[in-house]
Amino acid sequence: MSGLKQSSLPPYSVPNALRRRLSLAGKPLTPAELEILRWAADGKTVWEISQIRATSEATVKFHLRNIYGKLEVSNRVQAMNEAARQGLC
């Protein structure tokens, strides 16, 4: 990729995770995502949230990845800061 800009690359060369994150950007959070975000803001782990919601850890991680994509952040701390800035938590 020496010297090529991202936009000049064919769509199939963009990693799936990045493509998915970009497709979520700016979309509103679902009620489940808001609940998980609030539990995460309270310091709950993925396992604890999965127990509270009676779901799998994989499902909680799925929602967290969607939250990160929709808020255009990379991790939980950034998500908490962005959610606070937007008045979500």
Domains of the chain, residue spans: 15-85
The mean pLDDT of the chain is: 85
- The residue-averaged pLDDT of 71-86 equals 93
- The residue-averaged pLDDT of 44-54 equals 98
Higher pLDDT, 11 or 70: 70
4 falls in which pLDDT band (50, 70, 90)?
very low
Backbone angles phi, psi at 32, to 5 degrees: -65, -45
57 falls in which pLDDT band (50, 70, 90)?
very high
- Looking up tokens 């990379």 gives 74
Topology (CATH level 3) of domain 15-85: Arc Repressor Mutant, subunit A (1.10.10)
Q: How far apart are CA 46 and CA 55, in angstroms?
A: 10
pTM above 0.85, yes or no: no
- Three-state SS at 60: helix
- The residue-averaged pLDDT of 69-89 equals 92
